[in-house]
Copies of this chain bind each other. A is one copy, B any other.
Amino acid sequence: MVAESSEKRQKILRAALELIAGHGFHDAPIALIAERAGVGAGTIYRYFEDKDVLIAELFRQLHDKVYTWLMNGYGPDRPLEERFLHLGTALLRYFVANPMDFRFLEQYFNSPYGVAFRRTKLLGTSDNGDLYRRLLEEGVARKVVKDLPLVVLYALATGPLLVVARDHILGFVELSEPLIAQTIQACWDGIKRGVTNENDQ
């Protein structure tokens, strides 16, 4: 096995990212990835068993990158709402700053690979470092967040974010910093338990 950090390996992943983000999975033939990476087509198979593995690895890298980004400035001891706003804002900012990463992740989740990952995250028992999951579970336990299944809370917390990120990248809206903040705040409004009416939810 070749070292994780091989320069060639990174070039290949970068080329794949650019092509897939730019034109979709199916306009990213191996030969083109190789050309853009400046390596031979066969070389790719020295670093990745097949195309599926290459894509899975690309996803893993981006996932790690996003996680690291989210952790940056994350205060685990801050109030729940603040933590929620931090995560959402950071995530949206990340997508605005890294549109290719978003486009790739979108494609990935919209494919059979994505389903498997999602299953692990939502149903898995292992604590796999999912910040959102812990946050939401804590919120429910503390009765700050509506008492809904985790899956639904997830959807409320991230669904609007994904749609708005896509529309920004497609040029349908310009996500300014205040707009980002307002969007995430609205997500929180959807998730948080109503305060005036105890029966609310």
Contact = CB atoms under 8 A, between A and B. Distances in A.
A139 to B, nearest CB: 13
A201 interface: yes
Interface residues of A, number: 47
Most buried by B among A154, A161, A172, A179: A172
Q: How many copies does the complex hold?
A: 4
Interface string A153-192: 0111011111110010010110000010011011111111
Given A118-B167, A156-B187, A189-B189, 16 more contacts: A23-B112, A24-B111, A26-B26, A106-B110, A122-B167, A123-B172, A148-B179, A152-B160, A152-B173, A152-B179, A154-B163, A156-B190, A158-B163, A159-B162, A187-B190, A196-B196
Interface of A: 23-26, 106-107, 110-112, 115, 118-119, 122-123, 146, 148-149, 151-152, 154-156, 158-164, 167, 170, 172-173, 179, 182-183, 185-192, 194, 196, 201
